[in-house]
Structure 1
Amino acid sequence: MDFHPDPSLASFRQEVRQFLQTQVPADLKGQPRSTRSTREQVMRWQKVLNAHGWGAPYWAKKDGGTGWSVPQILVFDDECAAAGTPTQDPFVQKLLGPVLNEFATPEQKAEHMPAVFNGERLWCQGFSEPGSGSDLASLRTRAELDGDHYVVNGQKIWTSYAHESDWIFLLVRTNPEVKKQAGISFLLVDMKTPGITVRPIRSIDDSHHLNETFFDNVRVPAKNLVGAEGAGWSITKFLLNNEHATTADLPVQKRYMQQLRQLATTQRVGGELLIDQPEFALKLARLDAEVQAIGMMVQRVAAMEQEHNPASHTLGSMLKIRGTELQQKISECLVEALGDYGAVAYPDPHEDLDPAQPLLPLQEVARGMANNMFFHRASTIYGGTSEVQRSIIAKMLFQL
C-alpha cells in the first residue's frame, strides 16, 4: 500500500473547497452533522449539488453520478464536514441508489431517479423488526400477492426518519415455505399508502429520529418489487457491501478532534489549561493517534475497493468496529472536557434559542455535545452490530 498522497487529489480538494466557499448559501454551512440534517436542509442541499452536477457523488457516471474515485469521495465528504454543510439523504445515496442502479427496471428508475436528483423525495429503510435486528433473515413482515398488488402486514422498528420520509425500501417475507433467506423480497413503498402508521421512539439523546412503523393490509403495487420475488436477501447483501471506506465516518471524527483540541487549549481547571495536565494531554494524544490510524486504514480499504478486492468487505467490518468505538471515546472525552457544562442538556443545535436567554460562550460550545455522546452509544449497533461484524471477520479468517 502506497500512502504517498495523490497529487491530483490536491487540485480536486481545491475544486470542492472553492465550490463550498462560493456557490453554497451561507445558511447551509456551519451545520451539525452527527445525525441527518432537517428535511428542509437535506432537500435544499440536494438541489444545490444537483445544479452543480454533483447530485450523486457516490455513483458511477453511467448511473448519472459523478464517477469519482473512492479517494475523491473521501475528499468530498471531508470538505463538506469541515464546511458544515447539511447531509445528503444517506439511505438513497449510499444504500438504495446503488440497488436501483443495479436491479431496478427502467420504469422504476424513471419513477424514482429524477426525484432523487432533484431533492424531492426522501427515503427510509424498513429492515429491522422486534426480535429480528441482527438476525435479519428471521423477519416476519409478510407480503402476499393479491392480483397486481402485494398486501403487506407486519412491523418494523428503529425506522430512522420514517416520520420525514416519502418512501421506504422494505424487506418482506413473500414465501414462508422455503429456507428463510430464500423467502425474502425487496419492495418500494409510498409512505402515504393507507394502512401505514408511524409511531415515534424518543432515543437516549432526547431526539426523535427513530420510529416504529406498522403495516396493516397495506396494498403495494406488484410493479414496486425490486428484482425477482425471493431475491431480497441477495439484494440486501449487495446493499450492505457498498462503501466500506466510509463506515468509520472519518470526517466527523476529525471534526470532533478539532473541537477537543480547542477545548484543551482554552479550558482551565484549577487555573491550568487542560492541555497542560499530563493525564488529559496523554488521552488527547492517544485519541489523535487512533484517528490517524483509522485514516490510514480508510485509505487502505479505499484502495482495495478501487481494485474490487473482496477482502475490502472484511476490512470494512474491522473499520466499522474500530471507527464506531472511537466515535464513542471521542464524544465521551468532549463531554468530560466541558466539565460542569458538559453535564447539562442545552438546546439542540437545530432548535431556536430564546433571545431573552442567550447562552454563555461555553454553553454555546456545549450545545449538542451530550446529545452526540448519547447518540454514539448506538453507533456500535446500527449499520450492523459489532458482534455481527466480528462474526464476518471470523468467517473470513476461518476460510483462510
Structure 2
Amino acid sequence: MDFGYSPQDDAFRHDARAWLAAHPAGEEPRPWERTLGTAGWIGLGWGRTPYGNRAATLTQQVVWAEEYARHKAPPRLGHIGENLLAPTLLAHGTPAQRDRFLPPIARGEAIWCQGYSEPGAGSDLAAVRTTATRDRGDPAGAYRVTGQKIWTSHAHEADWCFVLARTEPGSRRHHGLSFLLVPMDQPDGRVEVRPIRQLTGTSEFNEVFFDGALAHPDHLVGGEGNGWRVAMDLLAAERGVSTLAQQIGFEEELGAVMAEAEAQARAESAAGVVGDPDLLDRLVRQWAELRTMRWNALRTLGGSDPGAPSVAKLLWGGWHQRLGELAMAVRGAAATVGPQEWSEQVPYRLDPLQRLFLFSRADTIYGGSDEIQRTIIAERVLGLPREARGQ
C-alpha cells in the first residue's frame, strides 16, 4: 500500500498545528467544544454540508486526529455526537432531522450519549428490552421510553441520547427495534442518571433509567422497526480515523512504560528489569504490534471490509490490556503501592501506569467483547455457519 501525504495535506497539518498551539489545553469540556465548533474543526468527516463544519479529505482527517493527540488537547466531550450520530443522520436521517440536530453538534453546543447496552444486553445487543410505545393520549403521538441502559459514557453531561428500543411488542432479537432520539432533560424523573464508580476511582460511565421518557415521533431515525440496521451502521462508523488518534495515545503510554524500564535499570545498575529477557521481549513485541496496528488501520481506512472494525477492536483491545500488565511487571512490587497515603477523603490515588492497568481490564469487553468480534469475523467474513440463537 502506498500511503503518503500530499502538499495540501502538509498545508492542512500546518494550519492544524498552528491553531492547536494558539489554543492550549485548559478550557472546561463544554467551552472547549464550542471553541472547536467556532473554528470549524467539528465534523471534518461529514463532507461538504451546510451545517458549519469544514470538509476534509480522509488523509486530512488523519492529520487532524494525530495532531490533536500529539498536542494533548482535551478529551472530546462531543465525540459521540460528531463521529457516531452525525454520520448516522447523514445516512439514515430525514432532511428535517439533519437540519435540527447537526448544526448544534457542529457548533459544539449539543452533547450526546449512546443508549445501547443494558444489564442483560451488553455485547449481545439484540437482547435489548427497553421499550418505546406510542402515547395515544399525546397530541403528537410521542413515544414513551421505558427501560435501563448501562455503561453510558457522558450521560451525566449529555443533552440528548440516541436509544435503541423495542417498539414492536413481543418481538425478539433484532426484529422490532427502533432508533430514537431522546432529550435527557425531562420532568418528573422520567430520565435518571447514576454514575458508576470504577476500579480507577473515576466515573466516566453511567446507568440511565428511562421511566416513560418522551421521544417525539419526528425523532425516529430510519423508520419504525429498522433500528437494528441503523444501529449496526452506527457501530461501523465507530472505528476509523479515531483509531489512529487512539494509537498516538497508546504510543505515549508505551513510551512511559519503556521510560519506567530504563529508570528501573538505572536504579539496579543496568540489571534487573531490563536484564530480564522476557520483559525485553514483551517490550519489543508491544512496539512492533503497535506499528502493525497503525498500518492495518491505514490500510482499511475508507474501505468496505465488513470485518475491518472487528479486527481493529480485537487488535487494540488485547494490545492495550497486555500493555497494562507489562507496566505492572516492569515496576514489580512497587506497582501495588499508591503515590499518596490513604485518607478518608481520598481512599486511594493512582499514578498513570496503575490507572492504565486497571482501566485496560475492560478493553476486551466494552465496545463489543472479543467473543462478539470473533463471531462477526467468523460469520460475515469467513462465511462460517451462524451461531444458533433464539428467534
Q: Scaled by the length of structure 1, what TM-score is found?
A: 0.83
Do the aligned partners of 1:124 and 1:160 also contact (CA within 8 Å) in 2?
Answer: yes
Aligned pair in 2 of structure 1 residues 286, 321: CA closer, same or farther (>3 Å)? same
Do the aligned partners of 2:25 and 2:73 also contact (CA within 8 Å) in 1?
Answer: no
Do the aligned partners of 2:180 and 2:219 also contact (CA within 8 Å) in 1?
Answer: yes
Q: Distance in 2 between matches of 1:346 and 1:118?
A: 40
> Does 2:283 correspond to 1:284?
yes
**1:321 equivalent in structure 2:** 314
Match of 1:145 among 129, 134, 137: 134
Equivalent residues in 2 for 1:372-383 (5 A)?
A: 372-383=356-367
Q: Distance in 2 between matches of 1:260 and 1:386?
A: 25
> Does 2:77 correspond to 1:93?
no
C-alpha displacement of 1:228: 0.9
Q: How many pairs does the alignment contain?
A: 366
Q: 1:17-50 CA distances to partner (integer Å, 9 max, x unpaired)?
A: 22222x213525xxxxxxxxxxx32x22222222
Do the aligned partners of 1:150 and 1:219 also contact (CA within 8 Å) in 2?
Answer: yes
Aligned pair in 2 of structure 1 residues 121, 340: CA closer, same or farther (>3 Å)? farther
Task: Report SS of the residue matched to 1:62.
Answer: coil
Match of 1:265 among 262, 269, 273: 262
Aligned pair in 2 of structure 1 residues 338, 386: CA closer, same or farther (>3 Å)? same
**1:133 equivalent in structure 2:** 122
**2:38 equivalent in structure 1:** 51
Do the aligned partners of 1:81 and 1:255 also contact (CA within 8 Å) in 2?
Answer: no
**1:231 equivalent in structure 2:** 226
Q: 1:112-158 CA distances to partner (integer Å, 9 max, x unpaired)?
A: 22321222221111111121112211211111101321111111111
**1:78 equivalent in structure 2:** 66
Equivalent residues in 2 for 1:205-224 (5 A)?
A: 205-224=200-219
Greater shift after overlay, 387-396 or 48-57? 48-57
Task: Report SS of the residue matched to 2:279.
Answer: helix
**1:202 equivalent in structure 2:** 197
Q: Distance in 1 between matches of 2:282 and 2:312?
A: 21
Aligned pair in 2 of structure 1 residues 381, 166: CA closer, same or farther (>3 Å)? same
Q: Distance in 2 between matches of 1:133 and 1:243?
A: 16
The share of aligned pairs that are identical, in percent, is 34
The structure with the largest helix share of the pair is: 1
Q: 1:341-390 CA distances to partner (integer Å, 9 max, x unpaired)?
A: 5323447xxxxx99xxxxxxxx9xx7232122211111111111111111
Aligned pair in 2 of structure 1 residues 397, 375: CA closer, same or farther (>3 Å)? same
Do the aligned partners of 1:346 and 1:368 also contact (CA within 8 Å) in 2?
Answer: no
Do the aligned partners of 2:148 and 2:210 also contact (CA within 8 Å) in 1?
Answer: yes
Q: Distance in 2 between matches of 1:142 and 1:92?
A: 23
The one-letter code matched in structure 2 to 1:53 is: G
Greater shift after overlay, 11-20 or 150-159? 11-20
C-alpha displacement of 1:66: 3.2
Q: Distance in 1 between matches of 2:337 and 2:203?
A: 19
Match of 1:310 among 294, 304, 307: 304
Q: 1:205-257 CA distances to partner (integer Å, 9 max, x unpaired)?
A: 22112222111122222222122111111111110111533447312211212
Do the aligned partners of 2:40 and 2:106 also contact (CA within 8 Å) in 1?
Answer: no
Q: Distance in 1 between matches of 2:215 and 2:101?
A: 16
Q: Distance in 2 between matches of 1:242 and 1:318?
A: 14
- Structure 1, unpaired ranges of 5+: 29-39, 348-352, 355-362
**2:24 equivalent in structure 1:** 25
Task: Report SS of the residue matched to 2:49.
Answer: helix
Q: Distance in 2 between matches of 1:146 and 1:314?
A: 40
Aligned pair in 2 of structure 1 residues 255, 168: CA closer, same or farther (>3 Å)? same
RMSD: 2.6
Q: Scaled by the length of structure 2, what TM-score is found?
A: 0.85
Do the aligned partners of 2:130 and 2:147 also contact (CA within 8 Å) in 1?
Answer: yes
Q: Distance in 2 between matches of 1:124 and 1:346?
A: 33
**2:148 equivalent in structure 1:** 155
- Structure 2, unpaired ranges of 5+: 385-391
The one-letter code matched in structure 2 to 1:310 is: S
C-alpha displacement of 1:93: 1.6
C-alpha displacement of 1:96: 0.9
Aligned pair in 2 of structure 1 residues 193, 66: CA closer, same or farther (>3 Å)? same
Q: Distance in 2 between matches of 1:146 and 1:232?
A: 19
